[in-house]
Structures are given as C-alpha cells and as structure tokens.
A and B are shown apart, each in its own frame.
Chain A
Amino acid sequence: QKEVEQNSGPLSVPEGAIASLNCTYSDRVSQSFFWYRQYSGKSPELIMSIYSNGDKEDGRFTAQLNKASQYVSLLIRDSQPSDSATYLCAVQPSNTGKLIFGQGTTLQVKP
C-alpha cells in the first residue's frame, strides 16, 4: 500500500462547478496535511494546510480532514480554467522529518 494515494485522473469539470479532489493515507497517526498545485513544468505551490479534523476554508478552496477514515480532500468552488493543473496531496507521517506526496490528480476545467 502506498503511503499517500490519489486518483491520477484526469478529473474534468465545467467552468463554475465544484471540483472534488481526494487523498487517502496509510499512517494512522499522521499529523499534518497539505495540498499543492503544480502547473506543467513548474514547481508545486502550496494551496492549503490542515492539521485538525473538519473543514478549513480559504477563498474558493476548502480542505477536509477525517483522521478516523485516513482521508483528506480538497474542494474547489466556482472552478476556473486557470485552476487546470495537477493537485498534489502531501502527508507528514508521525515522528519523522519527511513529507510524502501522492501521485497527484490532474484537474481539467473546461470553459
């Protein structure tokens, strides 16, 4: 089992719709969770971090964490073509200095 798993996609949504991106992780006591966006040929940029169960909202983005289910998700409201990118989930396993990334989900927002 991979430490962090994401569906590679592509996930295709129409402009203005809600995009839902999902991520599961294997280390039950993982402490920190992050979502990054990566455009082709560029380095990843941080969108959101979440540390506690529940929802965290920042503008059009909402991160959701469920530690019991070992599940973290990212919702993008009012999706725009400029949101088309690969979204990477990252998890901090317990008692380590490393940050593990999933394979990423490619999102396509169609005008």
Chain B
Amino acid sequence: SQTIHQWPATLVQPVGSPLSLECTVEGTSNPNLYWYRQAAGRGLQLLFYSVGIGQISSEVPQNLSASRPQDRQFILSSKKLLLSDSGFYLCAWRGGPNEKLFFGSGTQLSVL
C-alpha cells in the first residue's frame, strides 16, 4: 500500500533562517505531488505541484521554492523565512489528475 512521510511534525525557526521540508511517498511510481499551506483558521492554499521529476508548477509568488529531485521525493525550501510563512504545511500525493488526494501528517511551522 501507498504511504506518505512528512517531517518534522513541528518546527520553530527564527525570521531570516532557511527552511527545508521533505516529503516522500512509498508504494507508487510517478505520483503527482503537492505542497499546501494552511494559515491559522484559514483554508488550504496550494503552493506548488509536480506531475513528474523536475516539473514544478508554482501557484503563489513568494519566497518559497520547491524541488523534486527524485520520483517520490518533494522538497519545500526557503532561503530566508518571513513571519508570514508561519502555518501548517501539508504534502500530498495522488496517482494522477482527477484521482483522490492523500495527505501527509503535516508540519506546523512557527516563524518567530
């Protein structure tokens, strides 16, 4: 069966520090991969999605970036965090367009 791993569960970072969040999927090949962010009390905002290695679509211009160095690995990065980057970051995968989306357990990021 397919599983998605996302870590860490919580992270506290100072303003201006770098960020790297990693997500890996097991049990499937060539998944569509997604990064969402959920600010406190808000809905899910799509940040990036990828339909294949090296293929990244950015939805929101900001100081975040994403990379997909391997088929089942998706990385969210920032060179310098802002206070507004605080939120609940969720990685998700699905087998293809129109298929069901499954989420990782999320990372609660607090930028102080």
Indicate whether A100 reaches chain B with its CB closer than 8 angstroms: yes
Q: Is B49 an interface residue (CB 8 A)?
A: yes
Q: Are B98 and A88 in contact (CB under 8 A)?
A: no
Number of residues in B with C-beta < 8 Å to the partner?
Answer: 24
Let me know if A100 and B101 touch, CB within 8 A. Answer: no
- Assess whether A65 is interfacial by the CB under 8 Å rule: no
Q: Is the CB of A99 within 8 A of B46?
A: yes
Q: Is A54 an interface residue (CB 8 A)?
A: no
CB pair A98 B44 closer than 8 Å: no
**Are B44 and A46 in contact (CB-based, < 8 A)?**
no
The answer to whether B100 and A49 have CB atoms under 8 Å apart is yes
**Which of B46, B90, B102 sits near A98, CB closer than 8 Å?**
B46
CA distance A17 to B55 in the complex (A): 47
B32 at the interface (CB under 8 A from A): yes
- Given A97-B51, A98-B49, the answer on whether A44 and B97 have CB atoms closer than 8 Å is no
- Residues of A with C-beta under 8 A to B102: 46
Main secondary structure of the interface of B (DSSP, over half): strand
Check B34–A101 contact: CB distance below 8 A: no
A58 to chain B, nearest CB (A): 13
Known: A43-B90, A43-B105, A43-B106. A101 touches B100 (CB 8 A): no
Question: Are B98 and A46 in contact, with the CB atoms below 8 A?
Answer: no
Contact of B103 among A6, A41, A43, A51 (CB under 8 A): A43
Contact A101 B32 (CB under 8 A): no
By Cβ-Cβ distance, the 4 closest A-B pairs, closest first, are: A103-B43, A101-B44, A43-B103, A32-B98
What would be 19 A-B contacts, judged by CB atoms less than 8 Å apart?
A34-B100, A34-B101, A42-B106, A43-B90, A43-B104, A44-B44, A44-B90, A49-B100, A51-B98, A92-B97, A96-B97, A97-B49, A97-B51, A97-B97, A98-B34, A98-B46, A101-B43, A104-B43, A104-B44
